[in-house]
Chain A
Amino acid sequence: MIQSHATAEEIHGHPALQHHFENMEQQREAGTLGMWVFLVTEIMFFGGMFLAYTLYRSTYPQAFASASNHLDITLGTLNTGVLILSSLTMALAVYFTQVGKRQPQILCLVLTLILGLTFLGVKAFEYYDKYESALIPGHLIPSHPFDPHVHHEGDPPNPHAIELLPGATLRQVELFYWIYFAMTGMHALHMIIGAGLLTFLLIYSLKGRFDPEYHSPVEIIGLYWHFVDIVWIFLFPLLYLLGRHFGHGG
């Protein structure tokens, strides 16, 4: 009884404890639950797009396969690997914060940030490639409307030309790219926000704000980072892989 009272006193003294919480434990619990609730809203947010994807994929399987086959599977795989690795370094960063090892913690945060930026760089390269192929849907870029080359039998090979499977129309391919840009764009936006949050963590870590008693920001932002990775784990097969067999005589 006396002992727990003393601990409470001690905790009350922690500089990171906000005035309206009773103790650090309550504060950490609130923060973690808050992030979980937020991630639920994120699932619903992406859910709307996943629904649209599912509906149109089942309605226009040929067009979606044609468009999907045109995506660069190598870059997609590379990016998947990069993100999985970054989840590992993020998890390690949380662990090192909890046990109070500052140097490896900062190293892991830096690694996570670098991997995140790598992902964004590759994504930007892919986007530029789509821009070159005039695959940006509609008049999103006013001077550069959707107008890709269509590969016909006997044409010389052209990396920018899109090969239409029987039954696919260019308009439906445009629909695929609309969904592709909506989903990956929204995902990239989350990555950018994540990179910002990591930078904030890094600054606070360098100032030595975190200790085994107070590590919830690292933990909470870690949750967010893992969530953004998981979204990609769903996006990659849906956008890049499904329907590959159509184009290759499978």
Chain B
Amino acid sequence: MKAEEFELPPPSRVNYLNATYGLKSWLLTKDHKRIALLYLGSITFFFFIGGLYALMIRLELLTPQGDFLQSTTYNKVFTQHGIIMIFFFLIPSIPATLGNFLVPMMIGAKDLAFPRINLLSWYIYLIGGVITIYALLAGGVDTGWTFYTPFSTTFSNSYVVATGLGIFINGFSSILTGLNFIVTIHTMRAPGMTWFRMPLFLWSIYATSLVMILGTPVIAITILLLAFERVSRVGIFDPALGGDPILFQHLFWFYSHPAVYIMVLPSMGVVSELIANFSRKNIFGYRFVAFSSLAIAVFGFLVWGHHLFVTSQSVYAGMIFSFLSFAVAIPSAIKVFNWTATLYKSSISYDTPMLYALGFIGLFTVGGMTGLFLAALALDVHLSDTYFVVAHFHYIMVGGALMGYLGGLHYWWPKITGRMYPEGWGRFSALVIFVGFNLTFLPQFVAGFLGMPRRYHAYPPEFQVFNVLSSAGASILGLGMLIPAIYFVWSMRYGKVAESNPWHLPGLEWRTQSPPITENFDVTPVVTWEAYEFAPPEETEIIGKFGSELEQPA
């Protein structure tokens, strides 16, 4: 067993968690691992606030009449669910927690390139979050997370400027995180860690960072212009001045469509890790998978117009955006096929992280394929702004991004905390979440095709059956989410003490103690192996008649 031949450092009682004590040692830390934990705590807080809003939505929609909440309240609830979940949970989720923890460890560095900027980004996130929470408590915001003008600039009587400010500030946290990752991956790789030896998680984090630095500034300026327009009561989106409210939608989606890739690309990276490591097999077509991440990041910037098929955009522009949207689906399809092919003749374990990875592939396939429905022009005319869209993006964001996040969290939990989570409970909750998720969102596809518009506080009674199913699923999903929250906290104190390499894996992050020391490695490692090298490369097998070229290991 190759994995057991690794020279592991002698067990040491000193690690990054107990190296220093006191609140100050955490709040002023420059250690990427501690910052990752600070992020973990804060995004979990926001996740449960967002989840609470989700339950309120599902409770309201149990009956066709608007009986549980008033319409103004309901509008605020779905708006805030979107804002919190997207800007304060999904976008920072994997990059800021797992990415922060693992990027330096996976490339054999002591820290990110700019530790102080890393800490700063957490404080910026916190300030943005506090301002947003203030806006929510002071009265909330009811524009939808999309902030469409002129409703948001002129007609809404809610806390648009304060919320916008919170999102604007939070954007800088995202930019700084992306900047830090890009520079770190370029300049801090350990000797021998070439680009094509990097774990695929790093490729996807790199692609994500590109989207973060290129897209986030655009939403920042857009939100800023919107806020000023509200204050000055005129502006560039104002039809009264000859401005174009559709310009806002173009600028907004120029960021917000790529933002979907900020959420799902890191998750794909995690799944690549899980599929390879829990089947003890190198990823089939490593380079294809690596480059498909970059392709998604690049193409992702060219498809924003598919959110505007029914907004009086020219039909020719519609065609171009539709074509590009189909094109961006291809790299995602490649990933799914390559993951599946990786499992061929492998050795698959049924540990919790693997269950999440398998669930991800299934749900992401459904989410991706239903995306084609919305890229198809004529069909999008019928489906846009209905529950079909809601179901589709939840399959990507929850079925995709969240499943990957939970899978990754279980997988690296022993490295992060030095303790194992309870395996039985882990598998059970993965199953509950999977079932609850599908029950929540599958019926919404049908409701959407039947014509139920989104953001409806009350709806015609014929849609009730789908909403009841959905609400039932949501309660299961909600309970399923509570289980990991409880046992993760429990395991930090009572979990089985983890070995340095509990899964017996070759990756760099497993070649140091759990939890790692502050500097990650005692000496800077020298990398002489390929990614996912479980067995010597000489033993490489070629599938059937097709594998004429050896792609890797080289």
Contacts and interface: CB of A to CB of B under 8 A. Distances in A.
Given A30-B183, A140-B228, A178 B241 contact: yes
For chain A, the bracket of interface size reads 35 or more
A174 B221 contact: no
Interface in A113-143: 137-140
Interface residues of B, number: 44
Given A140-B231, A178-B234, A179-B236, A55 B247 contact: yes
A197 B519 CA distance: 31
Chain B contact residues, majority secondary structure: helix
B234 A137 contact: yes
Interface in B239-255: 240-244, 247, 250-251
A175 B241 contact: yes
A250 interface: no
A139 B232 contact: yes
A137 B232 contact: yes
Interface string B109-146: 11111110000000000000000000000000000000
A42 B175 CA distance: 11
A140 to B, nearest CB: 4
A37 interface: yes
B110 A41 contact: no
A46 B217 CA distance: 8
Nearest to A173: B241
Contacts of B225: 48-49, 52, 182
Contacts of B234: 137-139, 146, 174, 178
B214 interface: yes
A51 B251 contact: yes
Interface in A16-52: 18-22, 26, 29-30, 33-34, 37-38, 40-42, 44-49, 51-52
B540 interface: no
Interface string A163-184: 0000001011011001100100
B220 interface: yes
Contacts of A37: 179, 182-183, 213
A30 B187 contact: yes
A21 B109 CA distance: 8
B208 to A, nearest CB: 14
B242 A138 contact: no
Contacts of B113: 30, 34
Nearest to A26: B187
A249 to B, nearest CB: 26
B524 interface: yes
A59 interface: yes
A60 interface: yes
Interface string A141-156: 0000010000000000
B235 interface: yes
A30 B232 CA distance: 41
Contacts of B100: none
B232 A56 contact: no
Interface in A49-79: 49, 51-52, 55-56, 59-60, 63
A51 B112 CA distance: 34
Contacts of A18: 115
A20 B110 contact: yes
Residue of A19, A20, A49, A179 with highest tally of chain B CB at under 10 A: A20
A48 B251 contact: yes
Interface in B75-133: 109-115
B468 interface: no
B110 A19 contact: yes
Contacts of A174: 234, 241
Contacts of B329: none
B520 to A, nearest CB: 9
B186 interface: yes
A175 B111 CA distance: 48
A235 B243 CA distance: 21
Residue of A44, A51, A59, A172 with highest tally of chain B CB at under 10 A: A44
Interface in B197-231: 213-218, 220-222, 225, 228-229, 231
Residue of B183, B216, B225, B240 with highest tally of chain A CB at under 10 A: B183
26 contacts: A19-B110, A19-B519, A29-B187, A30-B113, A33-B182, A34-B114, A34-B180, A37-B183, A40-B213, A41-B213, A41-B216, A41-B217, A44-B214, A44-B217, A44-B218, A48-B221, A51-B247, A55-B247, A56-B243, A137-B234, A137-B235, A138-B229, A139-B231, A140-B228, A140-B231, A178-B235
Given A40-B214, A59-B242, 5 more contacts: A20-B109, A26-B188, A34-B180, A42-B217, A52-B236
